[in-house]
Amino acid sequence: MANIKCIGILTSGGDAPGMNAAIRAVTRTAIYNGLEVKGIMRGYKGLIFDEIEPFKTNSVSNIIQQGGTILKTARSKEFQTPEGRQIAYEALQREGIDALVVIGGDGSLTGARIFAQEFNYPIVGLPGTIDNDLQGTDLTIGYDTALNTIMQAVDKIRDTASSHERLFFIEVMGRECGILALNGAIASGAEAAIIPEMSIGQDQLGDLISNGFRKSKNSSLVLVTEGDITGGAMAMAERVKTEFPQYDVRVTILGHVQRGGSPTANDRILASRMGAAAIDALLDGQRNVMIGIQNDVIVYVPFSKAVKKNKPIQPDLVETLKVLSI
């Protein structure tokens, strides 16, 4: 096992609430174990452009409650080329960084996997994304906070929707993963969720309409996952307006409000456990794994498995939403 004396930490891709709690946990666990820590700014971009600074215990004071990431985040085209990754590797050598902790979503962990293989370099990843779309972990850092933000927003929309007896399509994040929309709908008592997993070869909106989904309601709330697969909330609204002009239809796109805010207790605890586990994993000789959580137990998930597409949706969630919205 390589002798690790100094670790680097970065956040990459979309920011997620709880990333700061993870940075704090990684930094403090590393220092507790006698390691040096360096913070790399702006994800892989900062690695290539050498934006690296020493981190001490107090570098991460007073951040556990803050959304966003004090390390900033960025997307880096250069890191997707072998030349860019070579420059990044040279920066790590120059800075004396022996191992990396990468906090990010599937793109960031794919980059980590490629880099780790190319240079035989030790990396441990943490799942930092509101989308909860990574395989091998029940939860990702940021998901619970985003879900709560969605629930609170939908509660507010419900007040106005029922006053005006309107049909609302509410677009939420998640791209190819509908778990935010589905659980957001269950948590807020919405009528339905239109999600990518059920959009291929199936007309979810058509099914809802033909089942008479507004029969006994004075308002209706439908959550829709953003993106090309569902077509998004605007497309849903346009179709209903054309086919059912009697409906009073509105659209709310929740957008980046879902990314922000102080992390929930659950996200702070998850990030703290996972951050500590990342250092334990590196000291234990683990390489090229993402820290996951399964049935409340920390697990190591090989990068190649974590970033596989199509994390399945539990069928009971779909059924529960359907039953409860009669």
By the criterion CB under 6 A, which residues form the site for ligand ATP? Answer: 12-14, 44, 75-76, 79-80, 104-108, 110-111, 114, 129, 131
Q: Provide, rounded to whole angstroms, the least separation between the CB of residue 206 and ligand ATP.
A: 30
DSSP 43-59: HHHHHHTT-EEEE-GGG
Assess contact for 233 and 170: CB atoms under 8 A: yes
Residue number with CB closer to ligand ATP (15 or 98): 15
Q: Provide, rounded to whole angstroms, the least separation between the CB of residue 276 and ligand ATP.
A: 22
Distance CA 173, CA 180 (A): 7
Residue number with CB closer to ligand ATP (108 or 199): 108
Assess contact for 186 and 324: CB atoms under 8 A: yes
Residue (of 132, 177, 117, 141) closest to 22 by Cα position: 141
305 to 81, 133, 258, 282: CA distances (angstroms)? 22, 12, 27, 19
Q: Provide, rounded to whole angstroms, the least separation between the CB of residue 261 and ligand ATP.
A: 16
Q: Provide, rounded to whole angstroms, the least separation between the CB of residue 80 and ligand ATP.
A: 4
Catalytic (active-site) positions: 131
Q: Provide, rounded to whole angstroms, the least separation between the CB of residue 125 and ligand ATP.
A: 10
Residue number with CB closer to ligand ATP (98 or 106): 106
Taking CB positions, which residue lies at the least distance from ligand ATP?
107
Q: Which SS3 state, helix, strand or coil, does residue 18 take?
A: coil
Q: Provide, rounded to whole angstroms, the least separation between the CB of residue 113 and ligand ATP.
A: 8
291 to 10, 109, 154, 201, 229: CA distances (angstroms)? 15, 11, 32, 34, 29
DSSP 189-243: T-SEEE-GGGTTT--HHHHHHHTTTTTT-S-EEEEEE-STTT-HHHHHHHHHHHH
| Paired tokens of 177 | 């993963």
Virtual torsion, Cα 199, 203, 206, 211, nearest 10 deg: -80
